[in-house]
Amino acid sequence: MTAKDKPVRMEERLYQNRYMVDEGRPHVRIHHQAEDSPQLKTLTRICPAGCYALDENGRVQVAADGCMECGTCRIVCQATGEIEWSYPRGGYGILFKFG
């Protein structure tokens, strides 16, 4: 892998974005079931903001501070009931400069 091919870290990618984080009021939550569904697991790959990751126990966790409110996770997990998703309170969340 050459320097130019090095994967960009998510923090660097999101660094330029503007957010107004609503501290203590996450707008995306996981309702864990006995086992994480394949749909939930796939979010660790396909969430465009990298909000989903596995914890030390191999369970999927979400940290939605970088969320761009696209809705993908809600749609992918609609049948499993694992994702509770709402918009952040008015004025909070992602603030696109160019869109």
Partner 1 sequence: MSEHFDAIVVGAGPSGNAAAYTMAKAGLSVLQIDRGEYPGSKNVQGAILYADALERIIPDFREDAPLERHVVEQRIWMLDDRAHTGTHYRSDDFNEARPNRYTILRAQFDKWFSKKVREAGALVITETTVTGLVRNEAGAVIGVQTDREGGPVFARVVVLAEGVNGLVAQRAGLRPELKPNHVALAVKETHFLSEEKVQERFNLAGEDDGVVIEVLGTVTSGMVGTGFLYTNKESISIGVGCLVSDYAETGMAPYELLDRFKRHPSVAPLLRGSEMKEYVAHLIPEGGYNAIPKLTGDGWLIVGDAGQFVNAVHREGSNLAMTTGRMAAEAIIALRKADLPVSEANLKIYRDALAESFVMQDMKKYRHLPATLEKNRDALFGAYPRALSSALQTLFRVDGTAKRDKEKQMLGIVKKSRGSWWAVATDMFKVARAWR
**Footprint of ligand SF4 on residues 55-84 (CB under 6 A)?**
64, 67-73
State phi, psi for 73 to the nearest 5 degrees.
-65, -40
Distance separating alpha carbons of residues 60 and 89, to the nearest angstrom: 25
Distance separating alpha carbons of residues 39 and 69, to the nearest angstrom: 18
Binding mask 37-66 for partner 1 (x = CB under 8 A): --x--x--xx-xxx----------------
Residue 5 CB, shortest distance to ligand SF4, in Å, is 25
One-character DSSP codes across 8-38: PPHHHHHHTSEEE--TT--SEEE---SS--H
Structure tokens at 44: 């660790």
Of 1, 3, 8, 34, the one binding partner 1 (CB under 8 A) is 8
Question: Which residues contact ligand SF4 by CB under 6 A?
Answer: 28, 47-49, 51, 64, 67-73
Question: Which residues contact partner 1 by CB under 8 A?
Answer: 4-5, 7-8, 10, 13-14, 16-17, 20, 39, 42, 45-46, 48-50, 68-72, 74-76, 78, 86-91, 93-99
